[in-house]
Amino acid sequence: MKHDEVIIIGAGIGGLTLALGLHAAGIGCRIYESAAEILPLGVGINVLPHATAELQALGVLEALERVAVVTREAAFFNRFGQLVYVEPAGRWAGYAAPQLSIHRGDLQGVLLAETAKRIGAENIVAGHACTGVEELGGGRVCVSLRDPAGNALPGAEASVVVACDGIHSAVRRQLYPEEGAPRYSGVNMWRGVTAHAPFLSGATMVRAGWFSVGKMVIYPIRNDIDGHRQQLVNWVAELECAEPVRQDWSTRGRIDDFFAAFADWHFDWLDVAALIRETGTVLAYPMVDRDPLPRWSFGRVTLLGDAAHPMVPRGSNGAGQAILDAAFLAAQLARLGLGPEALAEYDRVRNAATARVVLANRSTPPDTILREVHERSGDRPFVRIEDIVSREELERIAGSYKTVAGMGPGNGPSAPGEQR
C-alpha cells in the first residue's frame, strides 16, 4: 500500500486548488476521484477577486482569463427590467485581481490540466470513491476505496487526508453520522446556457426579481463562441417551491415547471423569456446548505469546500470559499507540518470565516437589495428608485456582504485575518 504525504478526496475546484498549493509548497499529494472519468460538468459560476488572487498566486489566472468573461459590473433589476443598483466588479472596482464569470467545466478543466502537469497525471486517480477513513497510528491514515460498481479497491495511506468530496461527503457522514439531509431553503433552481449576443456591458452579472415571483441570475461565461461575437450566457431561474427537486447536479429540469413566472420578462435590454426558451438542456437543483459544524478536523483528517461548508448560492461565493480553504490549508501544512496541528489551525480560522458566509447567504447576501425593492414597492414598477430605497442603503447592503466574505479593494492572496 502506497503511503502519500497528503490524500485529497475529490477532484473538484477545492481539491485541485489544494493540490496546486501543496505542490507549490513542496508537499506531495495524490487525488482520488469517485467519477470514472472527470468530465466538464455543470454550468456557470462566478469567482470573486479574493479567490482569483489565490489562483493568480498559483500561476493559473492567465489561463483562466482566456476561457472566462472578466466581469465588469454587477447589476440589480426588478422583474420589470428597471435598474435598481449597479456597481463595478473585480478590477473595475479597484481589486488587484479580477472577478471571473466562467463555465464550471472550464474552471475545472484548467485546474485539472495544470495539476496533472505539476503533480503527474498518475497522481489523479479516477474511479476511486472514498467510503471511509481510519487513523492507524504512527502518523498514518488509511482511506477505504471502491470502484464505480461498488467493488472494494485496495486502500491508500497518507499522513493527512482532506475530504473535498462535496455536499454528500462520505467523510463528513462518517464524522457526523446523525447530521441528516441538507437544509432546503424553500427555493428550487433551474439552470441553463444559451448562445446570445452581448447585452448591457457584455460583461455584466445580472440579478433580477425576487424568489416569491421569480428571480433570475444571468451572465455571460464565454466570449465569441461562433466567430460572430455571440457569447455563451448562463442563466439561473429561482422560484419558491414547497418541495425540493432531486438533489443531483445532473438532474434534468423541465422548462414548463417554472417558465410561467418568467413568460412576460421582455426587457428592452434582454428578452429573458426567449433566452430560457432557446436553451437546449435545463438542469434542476434545490437551493440547499448545511448548518455550520463545530469542527472539521479530527486528528489527521479534515474537510474542505462543500464537504465542510455547503452554502446556498446567493453570494457567488461557493467555489471562492473552497479556493480560500485550499490556499490557507496548504500554507498551514507547509508552516506547521503534516499533522493535527496544521489541520487544527486551518479549522480554527477557516471554519469561523466560512460559517459567517453560510449564515449571511441565508439572510443578507447581495440580492437582499432585490428583496427590499420588491417589498417596499409592493412588486410594482417605480418612477424613481430613490423613492423606494436610497443609494446609501443599497451600498450598505452590498458593502456588508463584502466584509463578511473577506473582500476589500486591493486584497491580494490571504484576506485580512487569514494569516498564512
Cβ neighbors of 326 (< 8 A, separation 6 or more) are 14, 15, 17, 18, 20, 21, 54, 304, 305
Q: What are phi and psi of 171, to 5 degrees?
A: -70, -45
Residue 218: strand pairing partners: 206, 235
Task: Output DSSP code: residue 322.
Answer: H
Specify the number of domains making up the chain.
1
Residue for grid cell 505539476: 118
The predicted model gives 125-141 an average pLDDT of: 96
- Region of 227 (left: φ > 0; alpha: ψ -120 to 50; beta: rest) is left
359: which residues sit within 8 A by CB, 6+ positions away?
A: 292
- Residue 293 pLDDT more than 50? yes
Name the residue among 167, 180, 189, 291 with its Cα closest to residue 245.
189
CATH number of the domain residue 152 falls in = 3.50.50.60
Asked whether the predicted pLDDT for residue 11 surpasses 60, the reply is yes
What average pLDDT score do residues 49-72 get?
98
What pLDDT is stored for residue 413 in this prediction? Answer: 40
pLDDT for the residue numbered 419: 37
Q: Amino acid letter at 144?
A: S
Give a yes or no: residue 172 inside a domain: yes
pLDDT in tens, 303-312: 999 999 999 9
- Number of helices (H), then strands (E), in the chain: 11, 17
Residue among 201, 198, 204, 270 at smallest CA distance from 230: 198
> Residues 206-264: pLDDT tens digits?
999 999 999 999 999 999 999 999 999 999 999 999 999 887 767 789 999 999 999 99
Q: Give the contacts of 213 (CB within 8 A, at least 6 positions apart).
A: 79, 261, 374, 379
Helix axes 318-336, 49-57, angle to 10 degrees: 40
CA 108-325-220 angle, 5° bins: 40
Assigned domain for 101 exists:
no
**Short-list 403, 400, 396, 394, CA closest to 78:** 394
Domain membership of residue 143 as a residue range: 3-41+106-181+292-364
For residue 276, pLDDT over 90 is answered with yes
pLDDT at 194 over 90: yes
* Rounded-to-integer distance, Cα 97 and Cα 55, Å: 9
**Arithmetic mean of pLDDT, 38-54:** 91
Average pLDDT over all residues of the chain: 93
Count Cα atoms within 13 angstroms, Cβ side, for 203: 20
Give the residue from 191, 306, 180 showing the smallest Cα distance to 245. Answer: 191
Confidence band for 3, pLDDT divided at 50, 70 and 90: low
Residue 118 domain-assigned?
yes
Q: What is the mean pLDDT of residues 348-377?
A: 94
Would you say the C-alpha torsion 80, 84, 89, 92 has a positive or negative sign? positive
What is the C-alpha separation between 155 and 143, in angstroms, rounded? Answer: 5
Total residues found in the chain within this entry:
420
pLDDT at 410 over 90: no
> Residues 379, 381, 386, CA angle at the centre, nearest 5°?
100
The reported pLDDT for the residue numbered 6 is 98
Within a domain: 340: yes
Residue 139 domain flag: yes
Backbone angles phi, psi at 336, to 5 degrees: -110, -5
Query: What are the distances in angstroms from CA 141 to CA 16, 28, 157, 248?
Result: 20, 15, 5, 30
Give a yes or no: residue 37 inside a domain.
yes
**Predicted local distance difference test score (pLDDT) of residue 398:** 87
In this predicted model, what pLDDT tens digit does every residue of 315-362 receive, in sequence order? 888 999 999 999 999 999 999 999 999 999 999 999 999 999 999 999
Asked if residue 20 belongs to a domain, the reply is: yes
d(CA 137, CA 44): 43
Cell numbers for 407, please give them.
Answer: 473582500
The predicted pLDDT at position 2 comes to 56
Model confidence at 152: pLDDT above 70: yes
The whole-number pLDDT of residue 411 equals 45
Question: What three-state secondary structure class fits 403?
Answer: helix
**Cell numbers at residue 368, please?**
437582499
- Asked whether residue 91 is assigned to any structural domain, the reply reads no
Contact criterion met (CB below 8 Å) for 222 and 203: no
Cα 306 to Cα 317: distance, rounded to the nearest angstrom: 11
416 or 169, greater pLDDT: 169
Q: Are strands 283-289 and 183-196 parallel, antiparallel or unpaired?
A: antiparallel
